[in-house]
Amino acid sequence: MNEQKLHDHLRELEEELARLDSVDDTSRELLERLMEDIRATLAQSEQPTPEHHTSLRERISGAVAEFEDAHPTLTANLGRVLDAFGHFAH
């Protein structure tokens, strides 16, 4: 999976987040910060360390677990981002 696919999944996640009214401000901020961190990682000219990728993957996984029950569509989008990021990071 390429970088463009990851960007596409991030855009889909942003669109889904914009449509959700039932996400509290703290959770919304967590997701927005996570997406910003992923985009910043993609924009870096140097390859981030494996530890950095691991940290981001763990944060995405944590967000998946947090939203799994209440927001299945959001969780599916997060899962696609996680999968794409995992392929991009290797």
Q: What is the mean pLDDT of the chain?
A: 84
How confident is the model at residue 89, as a pLDDT?
63
- Contact of 79 with 57, CB cutoff 8 Å: no
Measuring CA to CA, how many Å separate 72 from each of 16, 20, 44, 63, 88? 11, 12, 31, 12, 24
Domain ranges of the chain: 3-89
Within the chain, which residues score under 50 in pLDDT? Answer: 1
How confident is the model at residue 1, as a pLDDT?
44
How confident is the model at residue 87, as a pLDDT?
73
pLDDT tens-digit series, residues 42-63 = 887 677 777 888 888 899 899 8
Distance between CA 52 and CA 18 in Å, rounded? Answer: 27
- Contact of 2 with 86, CB cutoff 8 Å: no
Give the predicted TM-score (pTM) of the model.
0.78
